[in-house]
Structure 1
Amino acid sequence: PRLVDVLLRKDVMVFEPLWTLIPSNKAILPVLWTLFPNHDYLLNSSFQLSEDLQAQGYVAKPIAGRAGLNISIFDKNHRLLEGTEGRFESQNMIFQEFFKLPMIEGYNVQLSTFTAAGTYAGSGVRVDPSLVIKLNSDTMPLRVLPDAEM
């Protein structure tokens, strides 16, 4: 059966709206890069490992992976910097430019922001000593202050 046939059955409860499958699927990343090459807010991404990606270091990610599983990070000399295992090893992969997260006090820091109806709705901070942010990576408290209070 197709995924849509399973998800739209009355006896299946979906906790997230069906539309969230599109932005959470990493196959959208090479498509966005093709539509908007060299955009400031996108990383070079491809369905095939290109010479350009190999020359700068890259990350191999399963298209529908989650929680940092089956991620491999390679440097520009093709050495594996870090890799994770998991249940997505048989999936097709995308290849994405490696962008090193900022490191603060020994932790790689990933800041996420969320919008609702086109308006800022919140942020989250995940940290991990490894290069891959995973399901069990720490979530840090975050407080947003008006500029006047800084």
Structure 2
Amino acid sequence: WRVKILDMTRIGVDAASQFYDEQDEPIQLMFKLYPWEWMIRERFGRHLITSPTRWVEPPWKMILSNKAILPILWQLFPDHPNLLPASFTSYPFDGVPHAKKPFYSREGANVSLLLDDGQVIAQDGRYGEEGFIYQAFAPLPRFGERYATLGSWVVGDDAVGLCLREEFHPITKNTSYFVPHYFIKS
């Protein structure tokens, strides 16, 4: 494929939901660094699902990036070992440590933690107008003075990448230390 860099404001769409670039060439495949919840608010947003344009990260991924799925998963699979208790209301967590997270958020923005001792740790940001979920607190492992978070990338059934983020506070941010790794099959 011939690659073009295109600003979101330069995307056009026709009545058949085909996306076009600024030279009126159809966009057949697109990779974006722009959150899906922002994409659906663009003037072309209503065409995202019906467009013949293929996405490297498909639109259905917006379901997975929305933390509102967490209470639903908990309701469907209570006590599952890979889930933390989660709710749309705070009352199940009255008096116990928990996290408050906006439906949409990036890198810890607008996340707050209520700890055992009643201390609240909060991160500022521009998210939260859509609503919040509440989730049981699971402390990050701490090594020395830093808290560590692992992120992984899986393509198909293969683990292809891993990142390690470290932060001096228990909420990981976009300024946290970041070390990427990739895997090579031997």
- How many pairs were matched up? 141
Return closer, same or farther for 1:7/1:75 CA change in 2, 3 Å cut-off.
same
Residue 142 to residue 28, structure 1, CA distance change in 2 (3 Å)? same
Give the share of equivalent positions with the same residue, in percent.
30
Segments of 5+ residues of structure 2 without an aligned counterpart are 1-38
1:26 to 47, 60, 67: 67
CA RMSD of aligned residues (A): 2.8
* Distance of 2:151 and 2:79 partners within structure 1: 21
Q: CA deviation at 1:121?
A: 2.1
- The structure-2 alpha-carbon separation of the partners of 1:15 and 1:87, relative to structure 1 and needing over 3 Å to count, comes to farther
After TM superposition, give the deviation of residue 42 of structure 1 in Å.
0.8
Calculate the TM-score normalised by the size of structure 1.
0.80
Given that 2:74 and 2:85 are in contact with CA atoms closer than 8 Å, whether structure 1 keeps it comes out as yes
Q: CA deviation at 1:25?
A: 0.8
- Whether 1:48 aligns to 2:89 is yes
- Structure with the larger helix share: 1
* Equivalent position SS for 1:90: coil
Q: TM-score, normalised by structure 2?
A: 0.66
The alignment partner of 1:18 has SS state of coil
Q: Does 1:84 align with 2:90?
A: no
Tell me which residue corresponds to 1:71: 111
Q: What SS does structure 1 have at the residue aligned with 2:129?
A: coil
Higher Rg: 2
User: 2:14 is matched with which residue?
Assistant: none
Matched residue type, 2:94: Q
Contact 2:98 2:113 in 1 (8 A): yes
Give the C-alpha shift of residue 8 in structure 1. 5.5
CA deviation digits over 1:31-78, x for unaligned, max 9?
Answer: 111111111111111111133x23331110100111211111002454
User: Which of 156, 164, 167 pairs up with 1:117?
Assistant: 156
Q: Is the 8 A contact 1:54 1:78 kept in 2?
A: no
